[in-house]
Amino acid sequence: MEKKLLSILGKLEKEFGGSASEYRGDVSLVIPAEKIVAACQQVHRLGFELLSALTAVDYWPKGASSPQGKNPRFHVIYQFTSVVLNLALTLRVPVPGINPSLTTISHLYRNANWRERELWDMFGIRFLGHPDLRRILMPADWEGHPLRKDYPLGYEEPQFTFNFDEINLRKPHAKE
């Protein structure tokens, strides 16, 4: 790991009490949910001005094994890149499965606006303080959050010769 990244990681670990880990050259730090806005402000001050990615992972049904010993359902991942220092850093935030919510960072990083809307749409994670939290990719009256693991894929049976007619009867066709 580079020296600059080591020192930045040390500072963040001391201030926010997370746990750092490295895998295949990628450095990630687990931060508790209450401290995420302060952590993002500190990361911004340290030179990471580009929020590359903001996504989430769903660990249903078993939950993730978080270092704090709990089993949260979601992990929200913030990926930062520093153009000035040429470094990359990941922050992972465990979020529980019942009424998942986090505070928004869209005042710090403006592209978090749509990314948090996408997380609300796909996972159901609410962002407190977001100026405009509504569905972005699915139609506005859609029910359910598609990227959760308990949401079905919506697979339709393909028509082969032996079941062609029975599926044809079920499938809606436009007549005119």
Partner 1 sequence: MGVEQKLGNMGFATTTLEQAVAWSRTNAMWPMLFGLACCAIEMMSAQAAHYDMSRFGMELMRPSPRQTDLMIVAGRVSRKMAPVLRRLYDQMPEPKWVISMGDCASCGGVFNNYAIMQGVDEVVPVDVYVAGCPPRPEALIHGVLMLYEKVCGMKFAEIK
Partner 2 sequence: MPDIQEITLNDLKHLVSERAIQGETVLLNMGPQHPSTHGVLRLLLELDGEIVVNCIPDIGFLHTGIEKNMEAKTYAKAEVMSDRLDYMDTVGNNLAYSLAVEKLLDLDVPLRAQAIRVILAELQRFASHLVWLGTSALDLAAMSMFLYCFREREYILDVMEMCSGQRMMTTYIRPGGLWRDVPVEFEAAVRGILKTFPRRVDEYEALLTRNPLMLDRTYGIGKLTGEECLNFGVTGPMLRASGVEWDLRKDRPYSGYEQYDFMVPTRTEGDVYARYLVRLEEMRQSLKIVQQALDKLPIGPLRSNNRKYVPPPRSEIGVSMEALIHHFKLWTEGFEAPQGAIYSAVESPRGELGVYLESDGGPKPYRIHWRTPSFDNLQSLPLMSKGVLVADLVAIIGSVDIVLGDVDR
CA dist 169 and 87 (Å) reads 57
Binds partner 1 (CB under 8 A): choice among 47, 96, 97, 146: 146
* Residue 173 binds which entry of partner 2, partner 1, none, CB below 5-8 Å type-dependent: partner 1
Token representation of residue 5: 């990244």
Alpha helices in 62-127 (DSSP H): 112-123
Q: Which is nearer to partner 2, 131 or 164 (CB)?
A: 131
* Residue 175 binds which entry of partner 1, partner 2, none, CB below 5-8 Å type-dependent: partner 1
Q: Are 137 and 118 in contact (CB under 8 A)?
A: yes
Restricting to residues 119-138, name those near partner 1 by CB under 8 A.
Answer: 138
CA dist 56 and 94 (Å) reads 10
* Radius of gyration for the alpha carbons in the chain, expressed in angstroms and rounded: 21
Q: Kindly provide the b/e burial profile for residues 145-155, where b requires at least 16 CB atoms within 10 angstroms of the residue's own CB.
A: bebbeeeeeee
Binds partner 2 (CB under 8 A): choice among 57, 71, 103, 126: 57
User: If binding is defined by CB under 8 A, does position 160 make contact with partner 1?
Assistant: no
User: If binding is defined by CB under 8 A, does position 170 make contact with partner 1?
Assistant: no
What is the smallest separation between the CB atom of 170 and partner 1, expressed in angstroms?
A: 11
Dihedral pair phi/psi, residue 53, rounded to 5°: -150, 150
CA dist 133 and 119 (Å) reads 10
User: If binding is defined by CB under 8 A, does position 55 make contact with partner 2?
Assistant: yes
User: If binding is defined by CB under 8 A, does position 135 make contact with partner 2?
Assistant: yes
User: If binding is defined by CB under 8 A, does position 113 make contact with partner 2?
Assistant: yes
Name the residues that contact partner 2, by CB under 8 A.
Answer: 23-26, 28, 49-53, 55, 57-58, 77, 79, 81, 83, 86, 88, 90, 109-111, 113-115, 131-132, 135-141, 146-147, 153-154, 172
